[in-house]
Structure 1
């Protein structure tokens, strides 16, 4: 039924204004609709009581309000929650809520599958299926917001809303740049989901030609999935490096249009015996010199299907110490949600019904 109708959640406010004008209505009606679309529980035009009944009837004939209903929910022993959302075409995407007492960080997907084929990442084994629409991106946030609001206060770890957002789930966001930018406009619009750009981070494996456009069109935080300090190793881990070398990527970071106080976050997953030596740490410190940045070290979440190993806490701390001695801000991302395949590198949108031998899926980052 919705195939011939327009999903209004695919529009940011400017686009929504133009859409209502195409229906013969004044542009301010678009702003009114925007303020309704992202209120919890609004699923029908009949609820938009400040719109004329005739206009609501026109909207119902031409458009609809999409929502994710009945998500597949898995709870981790550490408080993380993994959500599986079935799309209209039957594909499943996944998001992960990481609650803390003072914040709720939501990791969301931007594509179904991924074309990057990083060797430590099982999302790539799905192949690239399609881009997510803006509504499919923002509805992940809407659904988790509604989940949080429905929780009893005494069972909720963090606030009753999503406070932080990371595009680090399934897919390469810059390969879906147009839809990601539209979704960011909706996510940060005060009449939309009203998130601050300071608390949104988009992670890329390094699609160099699209980085400048991204930086010019949004002020959210940028994260770079680096994961190696030389081209030979990065070629093997991340085939994208064969197109855009480390030097090209780092030059794009130096040229990235960014406010003075902002910093790029470099993500570096440590793989035992592959990229975790003291020499690797020293080379990394040298290569990043001159780039306003912070470094996020990720201990590898092992999968039996893949040959890589976690280097252990001692090696992780030694790597961090070298970088800190070189005057970098270096953080270690604690793995959470591993028991439900929701940790960094473990999202793949698999059918949740097959539980006898759970797959070990993976995500971009």
Structure 2
């Protein structure tokens, strides 16, 4: 692929598909990515893929999508599933509120829309977990609606193509980008237009060092003509995320460990974890863990050897978790701050949906179980 030099007007003739859009769609037919959710107009399949792709790379999503569609092949299957089944199928994708919202939305569609996913962006946005981008993507790809879908790739491509100098995520910047995209949206082909821009952003117009020489839209690209393509999109600097120190107790008794289930609303809602919590100012790790277990379970524990240190970055903060092997000292645990609790044998841990850190703890326990949990 080689770019044609020169420039073109960014304004198409009224009521017609622009030459820019036509060139983009030709490129898409020849070079588009082969993805398991493409080639279907099943709105459920499109919806699932778009929810999974929120803040997650395509390569990560593909195996999850395939397993999900095998387990929940229709919206009705998903609506009938238990939340724990849904969370277990989602485990490892992160941002678990997406799974809970998708599950709630499936049930709502069955109850309110007779199992038919609505076709309009406005109606789609009334479903839990469906924002403007997801609604526009589903409406355009599954239902042929003439809607631009503004994800990270489209935002970057459009900001470069039309040299948008405003911060791309600001309301003013987004409005400018959407106006440009609508001006070139080919009637009846918005789904392919949106997916073509997604692929262009993933394959050519990448965040760093875009391959402008291979771009089918190079002759229309205003930022390339000005030599500022690597300065677009304009981004707003974010503060460094805070680091939070957390402790967790692997409380064992009679060959089993104690798990608690997080409240449904909130971070990692509905997932199982090893109990513990955030270190407060002035506390040692041991003091923190004793206090957290007392507050969460109403018991006193004997804290033994450290199991490991685990790190994970969430959207707005980072966590360093210190896990300790522990025993009950006084009292019988009660889930005062959790939705539920369970004693689980190590071989049963895989059945409980968990977040990344707790799954790592469970994996480490299985590796060293004989030395930590002697028979009897």
Q: TM-score normalized by structure 2?
A: 0.22
Which has more radius of gyration? 2
Bigger proportion of residues as helix: 2
